[in-house]
Structure 1
Amino acid sequence: MLGPRAEAGVWRLDAGVVKAVAGVAARPVLLVPGEHVLTMSVALPLPSHARRLAALPFAIEDRIADRPDVPHLALGAQQAGGGWLAGAVDRDLMATWVAHVAEAGIADAAIMPDALALPVPEAGRWNVRREADGRILVRTPDGAGFAAREALFVALWTAAGKPACDEVEEGGEALPIALDLRQGDYARPRQGLSRTGRRVAIVAVAGLVAHGAIAAADTVALRSVAAKRGAELAQLLATAAPGRYAGADPREAALVAAELLPAGGNAPPGTLLPLLSRTSSALAPFGGAVTIRSMQFDEAGRSLRLDVELADPAARGNIVNALRSAGLTGRFDGASLVVGGAA
């Protein structure tokens, strides 16, 4: 069974002390001083999350003072302009933050720079917030952000061409987690699942694939599949892990459910999530030519079975070739497309 989880609230690290603050988030999150995290938007035109992570150190090596293998690197959400939000932070400091959340009883909380709590502004503008301690939080149009005292803020603002600034107050909407620094060596701890939790993981598979397919195909049928999976997943998460997720985004709910998978279980996230991501990316170029009606994950065979309809049956060969180019295996079994993780 799952142990106790932190409620989906917001905490702030203030002078080494974790304090609860007003606000809600889809899952628990600790806001840390943005002065200590270099955030940036990075162009990573690669088809899978694993490949983007592998390329990240090389993409940012000219933006950091250290070698790219020295700081802890984290990859966040893709921004409207196409770039990916990334962060770099000192490893010792990251370890200290992880220890703080554990001591505060919120060991599963995400960790995010506080400047990213501000919304992304319009092009050519900055969103800013002056904190009670005199710090100024800034969010820039590329999705990145920083924090600085007034003198440094003025210098940076001047160097940027004095963009128009909009002062942002703390709102009542759920805080999106644009960049969770809890990755790699500092990832949130995994816990075992009950039978209900195993069901959550199965639904998570369907939710992720369906959501990815919708982005490519945008069909009524696929929207129906995703809506059903998303609603079922949210309900099961509430039962299996109360307080773990309070949002309504099927993709984020599926990722949270996947984090609950035991490291030694039958469907390790290291196999499951990359397979889902790579499959979705490989099928994206086919758009509305491929309709996914249902999907199953074979835990023993580490493969996906997708019940598909093709606008052009002759496209089967191209689909298999696209999967192979993405490092996957693919074959058609009747009306089903079977995708494996090793080409």
Structure 2
Amino acid sequence: MSEYLVIILNETGAEVTEAGLVNKAGAWLEAVPAHAVASTTADQVVAVLTGAGVSLWRETLPALPSAKLQKILPGLMEDRLAGPASAMHFALMGTSADGSQLVAAVDRSVMDNAAATLAALGHAAARLVPDFMLLSESEGAQVLKGPDGLCRVRLPDGTGFTAEESLTESMLESASEVVVSPESWHATLARAAATPITLKQGRYAGRADMVTALLWFRRAGLIALAGLILWAVTVSFETTRLNREADAAYTEAEALFRASFPDVRRVANMRAQARQEVMKLRQLSGGEFLKLSTLLFEQSNTLEGVLLEGLRFDNARGELAATLSFASFADGETFKNGLSASGVMVTEGGSRQEGARVVTDLTLRSAS
């Protein structure tokens, strides 16, 4: 069995354009016919994506772990994009000596297509590499024209692109030096076996046989979104703005009440029941709940965009557990620092990205 099977996909990720076997030394052995790709076995499968739809920039990013950077990249790179960042997948493609990083962006539909195409062939690729990233970096722009007529270009700063020959010539007019890559097309593709570079990061990392499930959830999400829009339109015609705000406020208050006092099964008079439960907590815990919740609400008022999603008080531990959402990870850090400065011991249970918001679980406890 050969060491590597390299599969080349077109720019949409929906079609296999070529495939070949590469040995352990990184040498191209032989081409694999399209009809034989599914039945070909290898120690590892690597996919190469035609990079016409991949954009690459060199950026100076915050000093954060890669996992956190993945979550905030859509917001950081939004100004670079012509369309919405929510439709794009971002990947970190390497760090230079000065600390700057290469950031790649590709449409999520391309990533989904690539995964579906490989799954249909019975393969799960360990890496998905943009083809132009297989060229070597040098003092001049490296150019390699493939059999499809497209030119792969690697620029001195590490960035690159794949484009038609006429467009490539126009884009390289200002380049100080242009060098035709000395390697052959297949020798360049063979480098995919050894490179650690991959677009399979974040939600696509380690993804194998989940394509069907993902597509199902996408359809379900679209149906749910359509239902939500229909509901919103219906409500806007049936109620006045003031009544909508009042209903929303009551619903939010009831949800917060149930989250704060889960032992209360039936809500009849929320104000009276809340007063009663607070008095119980005050008697049992010496006002610890009121103290912590007051500090929490005071800190919420100092920072715009903070939403309280849930609240629960553990009387036995004297701890207040809160779930909040912020506009960014930085706002979350500012919020925690403000609580700590107020003399509250804050423990973070975890943070996660939900749409455009960052949801964080915090546990508050008095320092004394």
Q: TM-score range by the shorter chain?
A: 0.3 to 0.5
Q: TM-score normalized by structure 1?
A: 0.48
With CA pairs under 8 Å and 6+ residues apart, which has the higher RCO, 1 or 2? 1
Q: TM-score normalized by structure 2?
A: 0.45
Higher Cα radius of gyration: 2
